[in-house]
Amino acid sequence: MERIESSIWPDDPSYKSRKELNLAVLKEWQELMAKVMKGGPIEAVKRHHERGKLTARERIELLCDEGTGFLEFSALAANGQYAEAFPSAGIITGIALIQGREAVVIANDATVKGGTYISETIRKHVRALEIALENNLPCVYMVDSGGVFLPEQSKVFPDKDHFGRIFYYQARLSAVGIPQVAIVMGSCTAGGAYIPAMADETIIVKNQGTIFIAGPPLVKAATGEEVTAEELGGAEVHTKISGVADHLVENDHEAIGKCREIFLSFAPAYRQPLAYNDPVEPYYSPRELDYIMPEDLSTHFDSREVIARIVDGSKLNEFKKEYAPTLVTGFAHIMGIPVGIIANNGVLYPETSLKGAHFVELCAQRKVPIIFLQNVTGFMVGKDFEHKGIARDGAKMVHAVANANVPMITLIFGSSNGAGNYAMAGRAFGPRFLWMWPNARISVMGGAQASQVLSTVKQDKNEENLIERYERESKALFATSRVWDDGIIQPSESRFVLARALSATLNKPIPEPQFGVFRM
């Protein structure tokens, strides 16, 4: 393989202003991350500790194998909403390594409104279960929740992907033999009581964990019966009388130790056979990714500069290098894992689409995972290109991406606009994971273009407000707050995040390729 030749060097004066801008955006993201990592209000965290309980992130840290880290999903969910009362949407989700086994962890943060669920909490919980099902990953539920946040009940209860979807996925996980362990470390009320009830094994903490369909106040209102929480559904009730829980423990530490013991009884994990290599560090420093993007994302930027700082040895076996150069395609390794890479280098033309479709088919046939690196304004428009059949050729790439059975992971490092988002495995096309950089943008089109279109069709005369709205709503922070991605990541961590995500996808066999009709 050839090593990519970079034209960017840290000591180049032309990159000084670029570096300053990118680092300013990165700093804003880092400050927000530091804030949500603290959990709920200081007083709530203090009360939590006084009760002898660990916080959600403290629990996860103990659960993980030492020194392995935690790949967190959507840490900034609900940011900028609900008067900032729901940091991380009150729930922590991600992938941990437990006894050497990759697993999805879902932990309620009871310091945030008692661990109750708003819309974004449910989106995070359900998304984590989707990831577990798609990638054959065991699940650990650290339950400490008051259930639905009642003032928001119309947004969290009745629809298909609302609260009930959690239990649907638990049933589906069980049906295909994916292990689930619940640790009841606090309240587990109403519909939430089914989380431990539907798990394979359930641990409950004495004088701390409770499970009941209706709490004491509702029981009294419904039946007139007066009963304490412990009498109704405490740890001893469910381990000695009802049998809803299986293991009685004294505290959070013992509960986490028991969970780690349970993992030792699992059958060995599957590993997809691939042409793995020994990992090799990139020739160019991944730290440079923090500041290499241009100040204006509409400025042309060679995506090979990103690839060179992610892949092993900065080496890429490029496919059709001289043909349709606005799309870079090729094979590489990331921390020893073989991947196909599809990266935008400009607008998508008819020939670009054909090149992309061809390469997706190759990866599917060879069962090689695909990394999509998005920086795309969309497909080329105009009479000449319509006459050449850009809709037909673009559809070929869309077909190929939709039907490729290999794991796909998407990273938006620049812009993501229009149908280009779909062709490059946007969220609607079901990539196993989708990450964004802090500077990234996602919208149907740029604000200036949208303003011109609406002005032309006489739908909006307030051009300035529309451009401002598009600018605000296209930002990565806006998208991640609504769980349209799996999280914003630091650019220099891209190699690590992609490798962890890739590794997780390989716990499930890659099926044989099957494609639909390609209009010729």
CA angle 44, 47, 48 (to 5 degrees): 85
- State both tokens at 206: 């004495």
Beta bridge partners of 189: 212
Helix (H, G, I), strand (E, B) or coil at 69: coil
DSSP annotation of 248: E
CA distances from 427 to 11, 386, 453 (A): 37, 26, 25
Pairwise CA distance, residues 302 & 307, whole Å = 9
What was the pLDDT predicted at 456?
64
Residue type present at position 126: V
Say how far apart CA 400 and CA 397 lie, in whole Å: 5
Task: Give the pLDDT of residue 453.
Answer: 62
* Of 30, 70, 53, nearest in space to 504 by CA: 70
pLDDT of residue 138: 98
For 234, phi and psi rounded to 5 degrees? Answer: -75, 180
DSSP for 263-307, please give it.
HTTSPPPP------------SS-GGGGGT-S-SSTTS---THHHH
| Predicted pLDDT at 455 | 61
Q: Residues 112-159: pLDDT tens digits?
A: 999 999 999 999 999 999 999 999 999 999 999 988 898 888 888 889
Q: Which of 194, 102, 177 has the alpha carbon at shortest distance from 143?
A: 194
480-516 residue pLDDT tens:
999 999 999 999 999 999 999 999 999 999 999 988 8
Q: What is the pLDDT of residue 74?
A: 98
Residue numbers in the chain where pLDDT is lower than 50 = none
Spatial separation of the C-alpha atoms in residues 77 and 478, rounded to whole Å: 9
pTM for the model = 0.94
Q: Which two tokens stand for residue 408?
A: 């796909």
62 three-state secondary structure: helix
pLDDT for position 446: 62
d(CA 145, CA 132): 21
Alpha carbons within 13 angstroms on the beta-carbon side of residue 320 total 21
Give exposure, 79-110, as e/b (b: 16+ Cβ within 10 Å).
bebbeeebbbbbbbbbbbbbeebbbbbbbbbb
* Residues 223 and 61: beta-carbon distance below 8 Å: no
